[in-house]
Amino acid sequence: ETGVTQTPRHLVMGMTNKKSLKCEQHLGHNAMYWYKQSAKKPLELMFVYSLEERVENNSVPSRFSPECPNSSHLFLHLHTLQPEDSALYLCASSQGLVETEAFFGQGTRLTVV
């Protein structure tokens, strides 16, 4: 149990579907992150939220839309995805933006067909 919970663990969706990934942290942290992990590639930072405000968007296509309604919850809304978006999507949290340790969820394995 890492204190960061992601649902669903696995998701298969068609290119015309709309789905959402959910992340919840029980650690009282103020910063939350979305990462994408593809095979043979480094973890790619997608979005950073601090105190519910988006502080970083790393040139992510608009078909990925994050939402942070409060400091404990983070969503990633998906629509009209492409097969190359298939990857493991990891959520993480940390006490602040410059903390020494980030805690990761187990990820959502997304397959776009």
Partner 1 sequence: GQNIDQPTEMTATEGAIVQINCTYQTSGFNGLFWYQQHAGEAPTFLSYNVLDGLEEKGRFSSFLSRSKGYSYLLLKELQMKDSASYLCAVRDGNNRLAFGKGNQVVVIP
**Taking the CA atoms of the chain, what radius of gyration do you get in angstroms?**
13
107 contributes a contact to partner 1 by CB under 8 A: yes
Query: How many degrees, rounded to 5, is the angle at CA 45 between CA 11 and CA 104?
Result: 65
8 contributes a contact to partner 1 by CB under 8 A: no
**Torsion sign across C-alpha atoms 18, 88, 41, 30:** positive
Q: Which of 13, 19, 22, 45 binds partner 1 (CB under 8 A)?
A: 45
41 versus 62: smaller Cβ distance to partner 1:
41
62 contributes a contact to partner 1 by CB under 8 A: no
76 and 15 Cβ atoms separated by less than 8 Å: no
17 versus 30: smaller Cβ distance to partner 1:
30
How many Å from the N-terminal Cα to the C-terminal Cα in the chain?
31
41 versus 70: smaller Cβ distance to partner 1:
41
Q: Which residues bind partner 1 (CB under 8 A)?
A: 2, 4, 40-45, 56, 90, 97-98, 100-107, 109
